[in-house]
Amino acid sequence: MTSLWLDTHPVTTTGVPLAGGERYDTVVAGAGLTGLATAVLLARAGQRVAVIEARSVGAVTTGNTTAKLSLLQGRQLSEVRKHHGDEVLAAYVASNLAAQAWLLSFLDQRGTRHQSRTAFTYATTDQGLRSLERELSAADSAGVPVSWSDDAGLPFRVAGAIELPVQTQFHPLEVLDSLLADLLEHGGVLHTGARVQRVGTDDGCRVETSAGTVTAERVILATGVPILDRGAHFARLQPLRSYVVSFRVPGTVPGGMYLSIDQPTRSLRTAPVGSEELLLVGGNGHPVGRRDSTRELVADLESWAGEHFPGATRTHAWSAQDYRPAGSVPLVGELPLSHGRVQVATGYNKWGMTNAVAAALRLAAGVTGEEPPWAEVLARTSLSPADLGEGVRFNAEVAGAMTAGWLATEARGLPDQPPPEGSGVVGRLGGRPAARSTVAGTTCTLSAVCTHLGGIVTWNEAESSWDCPLHGSRFDASGKLLEGPAVSDLPAFE
């Protein structure tokens, strides 16, 4: 499932191979929006920066997003207010405004295209209307000019909608390409195909990767979920996977950026591709690795689009995950026990176009000394009792998934027959959990035990991958690590 973005504007720059022995001021792990924006800010401030990317630029969430750069964020503002009150909400909004302004100014400087759009959040139920009222009130208190919308312009009935004009949408790979070009022009370095596996921090940072070891004064983990477990961030995050389908639609399509506040979530925007205006429909999110039929979720988006936009024909379908933090505020700052040398940024709750850049501004401030006032408020935001409760719930679900996975493999042996094309099965083989799949005629048998912390992986039929229901690590059918907090592949079953 290749996204519209990765298909129409892949970033083919691979940088220079990592040889081992290089020295940098800062190493940034991850070439998504967080990593590249942080690296650009540091390189512009005169640092010698290297971005080390396990796969390719934008390969994971940023290359598979819906890329709305918006302050109207579903329930996000009312959730931040509910958990932390008005002062933190004001700081959250200020951080997102600063990020939006920085990115727009950067794109204008570089001549990178983006489109101004009105953002809408709409409700289809009375309960949804009450959520809209809370969002409007939170936006009001933080000075965001959201208003009730008389006509959202959608081709189906809504109970109500709120709107925020002059927000932005873009092609995320074009944006990453511009950031990368700027980074290289400012002396930054890109190494792709090298996975950071360990970071020692006793005397400076010793960054061990799959391609060799480099040293640096400082490391930024911009890897989606952090790959080092010292901060146990994985225990405060819920990985949520959702689906996006792009369509060619006869006639005109509504020009706004839309998000439903009721379930099932529907996220809509247009995307100019050549002379066409495609329609994107996203939604059907669920915790990673905990859905039996993922193909059905894609089919459901297609049938919803067919019903509301007659004649819509699919051009691309894809999927991605982002991390919902207990407490709704992104987790940005020092990794514990790293002597202040390793920093992380994660937990954007599907609002990373603003929050990744806000994190970059915050992380770069440690070097540039230009710390914005909102950064200090967000840095001292601690988990409230309600957040701790949410964290406990995430972990109870994780413990349940761990137990269920191990019990299920205990209960059933792995069938001798290869599974049918496109499917995978988990069972006991020689007394140990094994995962076997057949993809493109090749049957692979792997250990079913996730290399992060021992969850039992489940088969994702839509993407032909093994997904871990604990903290969201994912592996392809041959065991190669795709994403998540794990740092090594699923080994072949010996």
Minimum distance, C-beta of residue 474 to ligand FES, in the bound complex (Å): 9
Q: Name the minimum Å distance from CB 406 to ligand FAD.
A: 26
- Size (the chain), residues: 494
485 binds ligand FES (CB under 6 A): yes
Indicate the residue type of 481: L
Stretch near ligand FAD under the rule CB under 6 A, chosen from 93-101, 345-353, 373-381, 414-422: 345-353
Angle between helices 385-411 and 76-84 (to 10 degrees): 110
DSSP 64: G
Site string for ligand FES, 453-472 (x = CB under 6 A): xxx------------x-xxx
Distances, alpha carbon 407 to alpha carbons 20, 290, 461, in Å: 43, 15, 22
Q: Binding partner of residue 473 among ligand FAD, ligand FES, none, CB under 5 to 8 Å per kind?
A: ligand FES
Q: How far is the CB of 438 from ligand FAD (least distance, A)?
A: 26
DSSP string covering 84-100: H-HHHHHHHHHHHHHHH
The answer to the question of residue 96 lying near ligand FAD (CB under 6 A) is no
CA neighbor of 276 nearest in space, from 243, 294, 250, 296: 250
26, 242, 460, 464: which one contacts ligand FAD (CB under 6 A)?
242
Contact of 94 with 372, CB cutoff 8 Å: yes
62 binds ligand FAD (CB under 6 A): yes
* 55 sits near ligand FAD (criterion: CB under 6 A): yes
The item of ligand FES, ligand FAD, none sharing an interface with residue 348, based on CB under 5 to 8 Å by kind, is ligand FAD
Instruction: Decide whether 240 or 388 has the Cβ nearer to ligand FAD.
Output: 240
Tokens of 191: 């190494």
Q: At 428, which helix (H) or strand (E)?
A: strand 423-429
What is the rounded CA–CA span in Å between residue 232 and residue 143? 35
Query: Which residue, 321, 309, 376, is CA-closest to 352?
Result: 321
Count of residues of this chain found to bind ligand FES when the rule CB under 6 A is applied? 13
The site for ligand FAD, by CB under 6 A, has a size of 39
Rounded Cα gap, residues 236 and 372, in angstroms: 26
**Stretch (H or E) spanning 43:** helix 33-44
Q: Which does 486 bind (CB under 5 to 8 A by kind): ligand FES, ligand FAD, none?
A: ligand FES
Residues that bind ligand FAD (CB under 6 A): 29-35, 52-55, 59-62, 65-68, 195-196, 222-224, 227, 242, 244, 282, 320-322, 348, 350-354, 356, 487
Residues that bind ligand FES (CB under 6 A): 450, 452-455, 468, 470-473, 484-486
